[in-house]
């Protein structure tokens, strides 16, 4: 097994990266002294990956297929891997986003046995008619639950106007109508297209022996054939940049989305964008203070950056009865930063904040796995992220500040 060892320049943590002969990449981050051990299988198949080609033939899958597999992959012919892991002392969960499906467990005993169960589960699908049909009502209930959560609703409405011609504009779980079309054949077709070793990473963290864990992953047998994923970039002229929905809530929630065309997904770029948000409108910014003092905001704004093969965008979120005013203030302040440039004091303060954040992140096995899961799809590690933060310069931030929060890329979604 080929192994690369790296040490985080900020955290000082050790990383073992195994490139296994099967094609799987295994990231192991030992954490001595912790009882918690966690393993996560990250599959590079998300809700936006609905179109692909196999052997020259094209396929379009119903919205929600990746998420449906996430629900059903636990089921096996004789038993449920979910139950097996639970009975073996593990706490189990899974989630799907636009770009990935992740399955994970944490436990304090039987780690290697549980890891084998996780790897077997991901490598051996079993989808049957009865199981697929009975899961539809459970997923429909999940879809309906999200409709009543204003934060989910405002986000899904945002992506609908940002990406009307792309699966990024579809609900991750699909709709009641789209999941009705799902059959075991569709699930197998997608499984065989995407659950290939090259498209899967396994992340392990805790007081574990790296080689022992890597050997278990090495022994997994995958039958998936692979496919050619169709990248569906939605660069059409926009139809609408505002959407509003009334749910009758006490204070409107809003998302301001900024769409980036041809975004190069590197740790330098992603951290630079996050830092620019903090400088412009984070908790230490003058803008945040002004908005609180004017009582158009009652709590600080939130920020997230979503990167996928089909497109990347950032979202500024908050609650306010004047969301358009906040969006405009944000764009104006960012534009002023573009003109004045960044001073060294601010850079130093923000960089030290991110260094502290990275160090704090190493306080939890679960947080380490989640952080690595964000990066492994792009063959990156937390070490790469740490290097990017250490090397961040004012020039880098100044060069990007011009394009992060621009009016022509902005979209606003409000739920009242």
Partner 1 sequence: MKELRTFQTSDGINLHCIKDSKFTMDCVSFFVRMELTKENATNASLLSYVLKSGCKEYPSVSALNRRLQELYGCVMDVFTFKKDCQLVLCLNLQFADMAELMPKAFSVAGNVLLSPKMFLNRFPDGDFSNGVYALSKAIQSLNDNPTQYALFRLFEEMCQDSVNDSVSRSFGLSSDGYLKELSLITPSSLYSFYSSLITSAPVDVYCVSPKSADEVKACFEKIPFFDMARKKFEPVGKLKGINTAGRHVSESKDLNQTILACGYTLGGSDIYAAEVFNELLSGGGNSLLFENVRQREGLCYSVSSKIFPHTGVLAVYAGIDGRNSEKAVSIINECIKKAGSCTEERLTEAVNSLVSKYSLIPDSPQELTGFCFSCRINSISPDIDEYINKIRAVTKADIASVADSVKEQIIYSLN
DSSP state of 335: H
Near partner 1 by CB under 8 A, which window of 20-28, 327-335, 356-364, 390-398? 356-364
Contacts (CB under 8 A) with partner 1, residues 224-283: 248-251, 253, 282-283
Contact 39, 370 (CB under 8 A): no
Q: Which is nearer to partner 1, 213 or 415 (CB)?
A: 415
Q: Which is nearer to partner 1, 258 or 277 (CB)?
A: 277
Is residue 286 near partner 1 by the rule CB under 8 A? yes
Is residue 128 near partner 1 by the rule CB under 8 A? no
Is residue 302 near partner 1 by the rule CB under 8 A? no
Is residue 134 near partner 1 by the rule CB under 8 A? yes
Near partner 1 by CB under 8 A, which window of 20-28, 230-238, 305-313, 351-359? 351-359
User: From the CB of residue 295, how many other CB atoms can be counted at a distance below 10 Å?
Assistant: 10
Is residue 78 near partner 1 by the rule CB under 8 A? no
Task: Show the 3-state SS of 236-298.
Answer: CCCCCCEEEECCCCCCCEEEEEEEECCCCCCHHHHHHHHHHHHHHHCCCCHHHHHHHHCCCCC
Q: Which is nearer to partner 1, 33 or 237 (CB)?
A: 33
Determine which residue in the list 125, 150, 197, 311 makes contact with partner 1, applying CB under 8 A. 150
| H or E segment and range at residue 375 | helix 365-376
Near partner 1 by CB under 8 A, which window of 28-36, 116-124, 220-228, 385-393? 28-36
Question: CA-CA distances (angstroms) from residue 397 to 83, 131, 269, 346, 410?
Answer: 48, 51, 9, 11, 20
Burial of residue 359 (number of CB atoms within 10 Å: 0-12, 13-18, 19+): middle
Is residue 86 near partner 1 by the rule CB under 8 A? yes
Is residue 304 near partner 1 by the rule CB under 8 A? no
Greatest C-alpha distance within the chain: 65
**Cα–Cα distance, 159 to 170 (Å, whole number):** 8
From 111, 113, 82, select the one nearest 206 (Cα to Cα).
111
Minimum distance of partner 1 from residue 190's CB (angstroms)? 21
Burial 27-50 (b: 16+ CB within 10 A, else e): bbbbbeebebbbbbbbbbbbbbbb
Contact 139, 287 (CB under 8 A): no
Determine which residue in the list 19, 30, 59, 89 makes contact with partner 1, applying CB under 8 A. 89
Is residue 355 near partner 1 by the rule CB under 8 A? yes
Minimum distance of partner 1 from residue 84's CB (angstroms)? 9
Positions in the binding site for partner 1 (CB under 8 A) = 11, 31-36, 80, 82-83, 85-87, 89, 91-92, 106-109, 134-135, 137-139, 141-142, 144-145, 147-150, 248-251, 253, 282-286, 288-289, 292-293, 295, 298-299, 319, 349-350, 352-357, 359-360, 362-365
């Amino acid at each position: 097994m080929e192994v690369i060892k790296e040490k985080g320049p900020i955290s000082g943590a050790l990383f073992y990266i195994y490139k296994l002969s099967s094609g799987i990449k295994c990231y192991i981050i030992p954490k001595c002294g912790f009882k918690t051990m966690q393993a996560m299988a990250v599959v590079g198949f998300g809700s936006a990956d609905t179109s692909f080609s196999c052997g020259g033939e094209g396929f379009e899958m119903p919205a929600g297929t990746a998420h449906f597999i996430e629900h059903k992959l636990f089921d096996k012919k004789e038993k449920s891997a979910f139950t097996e892991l639970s009975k073996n002392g593990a706490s189990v969960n899974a989630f799907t986003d636009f770009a990935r499906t992740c399955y994970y467990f944490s436990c304090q005993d039987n780690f290697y046995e549980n890891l084998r169960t996780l790897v077997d589960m991901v490598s051996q699908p079993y989808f049957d008619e009865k199981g697929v049909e009975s899961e539809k009502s459970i997923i429909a209930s999940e879809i309906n639950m999200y409709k009543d959560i204003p934060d989910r609703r405002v986000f899904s409405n945002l992506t609908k106007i940002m990406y009307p011609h792309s699966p990024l504009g579809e609900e991750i779980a699909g709709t009641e109508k789209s999941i009705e079309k799902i059959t075991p054949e569709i699930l197998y077709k997608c499984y065989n297209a995407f659950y290939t070793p090259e498209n899967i990473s396994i992340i392990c963290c805790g007081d574990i022996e790296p080689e022992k864990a890597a050997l278990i992953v090495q022994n997994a047998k995958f039958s998936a054939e692979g496919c050619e994923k169709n990248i569906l970039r939605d660069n059409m002229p926009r139809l609408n940049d505002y959407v509003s929905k009334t749910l009758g809530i006490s204070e409107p929630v809003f998302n301001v989305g900024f769409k980036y065309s041809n975004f190069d997904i590197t740790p330098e770029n992603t951290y630079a964008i996050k830092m620019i948000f903090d400088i412009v409108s984070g908790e230490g910014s003058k803008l945040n203070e002004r908005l609180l003092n004017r009582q158009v905001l009652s709590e600080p704004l939130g920020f997230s950056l979503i990167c996928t093969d089909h497109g990347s965008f950032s979202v500024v979120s908050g609650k306010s009865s004047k969301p358009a005013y906040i969006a405009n203030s944000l764009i104006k302040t960012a534009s002023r930063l573009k003109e004045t440039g960044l001073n060294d004091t601010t850079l130093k303060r923000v960089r030290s904040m991110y260094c502290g954040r990275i160090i704090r992140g190493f306080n939890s096995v679960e947080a380490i796995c989640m952080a690595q899961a964000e990066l492994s799809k792009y063959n990156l590690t937390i070490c790469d992220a740490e290097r990017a933060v250490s090397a961040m310069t004012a020039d880098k931030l100044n060069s990007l500040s011009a394009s992060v929060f621009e009016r022509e890329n902005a979209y606003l979604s409000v739920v009242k």
